[in-house]
C-alpha cells in the first residue's frame, strides 16, 4: 500500500492540483491574507505531524476542490425533483449521483446524503424512527391524516408520546458516542436512556448481557456503533436482540464506514443488511468531505427523506458534490486495498504495543483503532496526550471502561490507522510508531502542581521530544502527504 495506490491521493494530479491551489490562495490572499496564510500553515502542519487521531483522515484533492464551488450559493431544500426552491436541476444531478454511489457502495435500498455532519445524521434518523413508529400510528389512532388537522389537546398528547420513548446505546466509557442518548447531547434530553457496556473482564461486548438489558428496558430504538471500541460487532446478533422486543435497530458506523465500504467488514459484521437505519460520517475512515450520510430500508426511507426541513437546514450542495466524488473513489477496487491496509496497520500497531508490554483495552484490535491503557505507565490520558504532542505525535485522550480518572483526564489514549495509511504507511511503519509512543510514555513522569499531585502536569525526560520528533520526521518524509503538491 502506498499513497500512489490510495484512490485520488497519489501524485497523478499533483501538478494540476498545485496550480489550482496556488490560484485559489492568490485570490484569497487579495481579500484576507491572514486566511491564506493559515491555510498554507494548516497544510504544512498536517504534513509534519504523525496524525493518529482515529476519527481523522486526508481527503483527496479531487474531494477537497469539489467543495470550493458555486454549489455553495444554492438553496435546495427538499429532495431530488421535489424542491421548495427554483432552478435546482444541477443540485438534483449532484444529490442523485451521491445517493446512487452510496446505495451501490453499501448495497442499501435507500441513501440520504444531506446531513451536514454525523450528529445531524443521527438526529434525522431518530426523528425518522419517531415519525414512523410513534407519530404515524398516533395520527391513525386519532383518525387524522395530517398533524395540522389535530386539535391542540390531541397534538399535545402526541407530543408527549414523542417525548416519552426509550433508547439504548453503548455506554460512553465502553466506547459509545454522546449522540447515543447522553444527557449533554440532545439525544439524552429526547429519550429515556439506558446503556449496555462491555464485559469488565475482557472488554468485549457481551451479547447475552446486552440481550438481558434490552429485554428488561424494552427500548424503541437499539443503537450499535462506537467511537472508541477496538473490536468488531456482530450486527446480525444485535438485530436478533432488537427484534426480540420489537426495537428499531440503528447502527452508527461513523468511525468504521471505510471498513464497511472496503469490504473488510462483511456478513454479520456488515451493518447495512442488518440495521433498519445506518448512519455515518463521510470524513473519517470513508475519506470523504466533512459530512453525514444515512442508509435506510424502504420502510424508513420516506421519513428520512424529510430530514430537511424536519431537522436540517438547506443542504450543503457543494459538500454533497464532494460526497459523490469521495464515494466514487471508494467504489474503486483500490479502496478495498486501502481499507484492508487500515485494518492490517491497526493490527501491527496493537502488536507493537503488546510486545512492548503496554496495556491495551481488550488486549488488541480487529478494526481501525487501538485503545492504550496508560495507567500501565503510571499516567493519566491527559498527561500522555500532552507528552506525545510535545514529541510530534497527535492523538487524543479517551476514557477507558470504568475509568479511574473520569471523562476529562481519562486513562486512555486512542490511536487510529486511517490517516497515516492514506499517506502510505505500512505495517513496519506502524510498529515503529508503537516503539516511538512507548519511548515517549516511558520517559514521562507525573508531576505535582502547586496543590499536590496533578492529573495534568508531567515532565518529559530531556532529549526525548527532540529524538522522537526526528524519528517521526523520517517516517513522514518517507510517506509524504499529497506527494508533488506545492503551493
Ligand atoms: C464522530 C462521530 C459522530 C459525530 O460526527 P460529527 O460529524 O462530528 O457530527 C457520531 N457518531 C459517532 C459514532 C462518531 O464517532
Burial of 379 (0-12, 13-18, 19+ CB in 10 A): buried
Going by pLDDT thresholds of 50, 70 and 90, the confidence category of residue 1 is low
Backbone angles phi, psi at 51, to 5 degrees: -85, 110
Alpha carbon distance 233, 467 (integer Å): 39
> Is residue 283 marked as binding?
no
Specify whether 263 is catalytic: no
Looking at the structure, tell me whether residues 176 and 272 fall in a common domain. Answer: yes
Alpha-carbon distance of 386 to 368, in angstroms, equals 23
Q: What pLDDT, in 10s, does the model give residues 197-237? A: 999 999 999 999 999 999 999 999 999 999 999 999 999 99
Contact (CB, 8 A) for 397 and 385: yes
* Residue 269 CB partners (closer than 8 Å, separation 6+): 232, 233, 234, 235
* Domain-located, residue 125: yes
Q: Tens of pLDDT along 338-385?
A: 999 999 999 999 999 999 999 999 999 999 999 999 999 999 999 999
**Which of 331, 361, 391 marks a domain boundary?**
331
Domain C-terminal end among 286, 303, 331:
331
Do 288 and 236 share a structural domain?
yes
Q: Give the binding-site residues of ligand 1, using a 6 Å CB cut-off.
A: 55, 117-119, 177, 179, 225, 227, 252, 254-255, 281, 292
Per-position b or e across 242-266, b if 16+ CB within 10 A of its CB: beebebbbbbbbbbbbbbbbbebbe
All cell numbers assigned to 248: 428499531
262 lies in some domain: yes
Q: Are 341 and 319 contained in the same domain?
A: no
Q: What is the CATH number of the domain that holds 375?
A: 3.90.1150.10
Classify residue 40: in a domain, yes or no: no
Grouping H, G, I as helix, E, B as strand and the rest as coil, residue 323 is helix
Answer yes or no: is 177 a known binding residue: yes
Give yes or no: residues 270 and 399 share one domain. Answer: no
Domain membership flag for residue 41: no
Is residue 417 in a domain?
yes
Candidate of 170, 251, 280, 281 to mutate for ligand 1, largest count of ligand atoms within 8 Å of Cβ:
281
Q: Over the chain, what is the mean pLDDT?
A: 95
Same domain, 309 and 437: no
Long-range contact set of residues 67-70: C-beta below 8 Å, sequence gap at least 24: 67/289, 67/318, 67/319, 67/321, 67/322, 68/24, 68/318, 69/318, 69/321, 70/318
Domain, as residue range, for 250:
71-331
CATH of residue 261's domain is: 3.40.640.10
Residues 457, 417 share a domain: yes
Whether residue 264 is found in the same domain as residue 347 = no
> Where is the domain boundary, 331, 366, 393?
331
Given ligand 1 and candidates 56, 179, 289, which is best to mutate, with the most ligand atoms within 8 Å of its CB? 179
Q: Are residues 441 and 415 in the same domain?
A: yes
The answer for 149, left when phi > 0, alpha when psi is -120 to 50, beta otherwise, is alpha
Residues 172 and 221 in one domain: yes
Residue with cell 440520504: 112
Instruction: Please indicate, yes or no, if residue 19 is contained in any of the structural domains.
Output: no
Give the chain's domain count. Answer: 2
Judge if 140 and 242 occupy the same domain.
yes
Q: What percent of the chain is modeled with pLDDT above 70? A: 99
Q: Is residue 288 part of a domain?
A: yes
Of all protein residues, the one whose alpha carbon is nearest to atom 5 of ligand 1 is 118
pLDDT at 155: 97
Task: Convert the pLDDT of each residue in 117-172 to its tens digit.
Answer: 999 999 999 999 999 999 999 999 999 999 999 999 999 999 999 999 999 999 99
Looking at the fold, whether 178 and 111 belong to one and the same domain comes out as: yes
Residue 147 and residue 203 in one domain = yes
To the nearest 10°, the Cα dihedral for 18, 20, 21, 27?
Answer: 140
Q: What is the pLDDT of residues 260-312, one digit of tens each?
A: 999 999 999 999 999 999 999 999 999 999 999 999 999 999 999 999 989 99
462 annotated to bind ligand:
no
* Residue at 8 is within a domain: no
pLDDT confidence tier of residue 11, bands split at 50, 70 and 90 = confident
Amino acid at each position: 500500500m502506498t499513497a500512489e495506490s490510495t484512490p485520488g491521493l497519489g501524485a497523478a494530479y499533483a501538478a494540476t492540483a498545485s496550480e489550482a491551489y496556488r490560484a485559489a490562495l492568490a485570490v484569497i490572499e487579495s481579500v484576507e491574507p491572514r486566511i491564506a496564510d493559515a491555510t498554507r500553515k494548516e497544510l504544512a502542519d498536517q504534513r509534519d505531524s504523525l496524525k493518529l487521531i482515529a476519527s481523522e483522515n486526508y481527503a483527496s484533492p479531487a474531494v477537497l476542490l469539489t467543495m470550493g464551488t458555486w454549489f455553495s450559493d444554492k438553496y435546495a431544500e427538499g429532495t431530488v425533483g421535489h424542491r421548495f426552491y427554483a432552478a435546482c436541476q444541477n443540485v438534483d444531478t449532484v444529490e442523485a449521483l451521491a445517493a446512487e454511489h452510496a446505495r451501490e457502495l453499501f448495497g442499501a435500498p435507500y441513501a440520504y446524503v444531506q446531513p451536514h455532519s454525523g450528529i445531524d445524521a443521527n438526529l434525522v434518523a431518530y426523528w425518522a424512527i419517531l415519525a414512523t413508529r410513534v407519530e404515524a400510528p398516533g395520527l391513525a389512532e386519532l383518525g387524522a391524516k395530517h398533524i395540522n388537522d389535530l386539535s391542540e389537546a390531541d397534538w399535545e398528547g402526541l407530543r408527549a408520546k414523542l417525548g416519552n420513548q426509550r433508547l439504548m446505546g453503548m455506554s460512553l466509557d465502553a466506547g459509545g458516542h454522546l449522540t447515543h442518548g447522553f444527557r449533554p447531547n440532545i439525544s439524552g434530553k429526547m429519550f429515556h436512556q439506558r446503556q449496555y457496556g462491555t464485559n469488565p473482564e475482557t472488554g468485549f461486548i457481551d451479547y447475552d448481557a446486552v440481550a438481558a438489558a434490552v429485554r428488561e428496558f424494552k427500548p424503541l430504538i437499539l443503537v450499535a456503533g462506537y467511537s472508541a471500541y477496538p473490536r468488531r460487532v456482530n450486527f446480525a446478533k444485535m438485530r436478533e436482540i432488537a427484534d426480540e422486543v420489537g426495537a428499531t435497530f440503528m447502527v452508527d458506523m461513523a468511525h468504521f464506514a471505510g471498513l464497511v465500504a472496503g469490504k473488510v467488514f462483511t456478513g454479520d459484521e456488515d451493518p447495512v443488511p442488518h440495521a433498519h437505519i445506518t448512519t455515518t460520517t463521510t470524513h473519517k475512515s470513508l475519506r470523504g468531505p466533512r459530512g453525514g450520510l444515512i442508509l435506510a430500508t424502504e420502510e424508513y426511507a420516506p421519513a428520512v427523506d424529510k430530514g430537511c426541513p424536519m431537522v436540517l437546514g438547506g443542504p450543503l450542495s457543494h459538500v454533497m458534490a464532494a460526497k459523490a466524488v469521495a464515494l466514487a473513489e471508494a467504489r474503486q477496487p483500490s479502496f478495498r486495498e486501502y481499507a484492508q491496509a487500515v485494518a492490517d496497520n491497526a493490527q501491527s500497531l496493537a502488536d507493537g504495543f503488546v510486545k512492548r508490554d503496554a496495556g491495551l483495552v481488550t488486549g488488541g484490535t480487529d478494526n481501525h483503532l487501538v485503545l492504550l491503557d496508560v495507567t500501565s505507565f503510571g499516567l493519566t490520558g491527559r498527561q500522555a496526550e500532552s507528552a506525545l504532542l510535545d514529541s510530534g505525535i497527535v492523538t487524543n485522550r479517551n476514557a477507558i471502561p470504568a475509568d479511574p480518572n473520569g471523562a476529562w483526564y481519562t486513562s486512555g489514549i486512542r490511536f487510529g490507522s486511517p490517516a497515516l495509511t492514506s499517506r502510505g504507511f505500512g505495517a513496519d511503519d506502524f510498529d515503529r510508531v508503537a516503539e516511538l509512543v512507548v519511548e515517549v510514555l516511558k520517559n514521562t513522569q507525573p508531576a505535582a502542581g502547586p496543590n499536590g499531585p496533578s492529573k495534568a502536569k508531567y515532565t518529559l525526560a530531556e532529549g526525548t521530544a527532540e529524538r522522537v520528533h526526528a524519528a517521526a520526521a523520517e517516517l513522514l518524509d518517507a510517506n509524504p502527504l499529497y506527494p508533488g503538491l506545492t503551493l
